[in-house]
């Protein structure tokens, strides 16, 4: 499988993006190091590009300050995430890095069908990992729903069922 994710952001890349933005829209950088906000141009290509440049600058600033990419906690050694987010990323990566043989075995065991929505699932779909072991191939939305359900627990799911279908008994 090909490597996923965005390319590594460097100060040079950010500078090139800022320069390209300023020349494209005929603006200069503010004292904060950003182009002026494109007021009155919401949801335009210029607005979306400004947001991308702003987020890139914030991401580099967090790295320079030693903050997690997702919160204000200090980063763990050798990572861009704090300990809590590093563990989450590792758990997600463990599921996505299942070997081809593991994925084929899961696919065959499920008869090519997602156990949540019962629709066809492919070998490149995410893998649910339970207790460190690959458990099943699921669609990304199904995996997200599974995570929410795990967070609720059995009692929470019972309350959800009662709320969604009040005339049925749990």
Domain boundaries, the chain: 11-65, 98-164
pLDDT at res. 108: 94
CB of 38 within 8 A of CB of 47?
Answer: yes
pLDDT at res. 53: 94
Rg of the chain (C-alpha set): 22
118 vs 77, higher pLDDT: 118
pLDDT at res. 1: 46
Residue 3 has pLDDT above 60, yes or no: no
| 42-72 residue pLDDT tens | 889 999 999 999 999 998 888 888 888 888 8
DSSP states along 42-94: TTSHHHHHHHHHHHHHHHHHHHHHTB-SSSSSBPPTTSSS-HHHHHHHHHHHH
pLDDT at res. 170: 52
Residue 91 has pLDDT above 70, yes or no: no
Task: Domain 98-164: give its CATH architecture.
Answer: 3-Layer(aba) Sandwich (3.40)
Which residues fall within 8 angstroms of residue 38, CB to CB, at 6 or more apart?
Answer: 25, 44, 46, 47, 50
* Range with lowest mean pLDDT among 13-17, 35-39, 68-72, 143-147: 68-72
Mean of pLDDT values over 34-41:
91
C-alpha 100/C-alpha 131 separation (Å) is 20
Mean of pLDDT values over 11-22:
94
């Amino acid at each position: 499988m090909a490597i996923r994710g965005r390319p590594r952001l460097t100060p040079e890349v950010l500078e090139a993006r800022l320069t390209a933005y300023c020349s494209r829209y005929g603006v200069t950088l503010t004292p904060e190091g950003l182009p002026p906000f494109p007021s009155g141009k919401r949801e335009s290509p210029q607005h979306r590009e400004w947001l991308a440049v702003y987020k890139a600058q914030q991401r580099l600033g967090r790295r320079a300050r030693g903050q997690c990419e997702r919160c204000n906690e200090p980063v763990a050694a050798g990572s861009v995430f704090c300990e809590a987010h590093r563990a989450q990323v590792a758990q997600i990566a463990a599921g996505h890095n299942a070997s081809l043989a593991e994925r084929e075995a899961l696919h065959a065991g499920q008869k090519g069908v997602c156990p949540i929505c019962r629709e066809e699932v492919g070998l490149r779909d995410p893998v649910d990992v339970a207790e460190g072991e690959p458990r099943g191939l699921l669609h990304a939305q199904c995996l997200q729903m599974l995570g929410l359900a795990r967070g609720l627990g059995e009692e929470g799911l019972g309350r959800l069922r009662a709320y969604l279908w009040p005339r049925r008994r749990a």
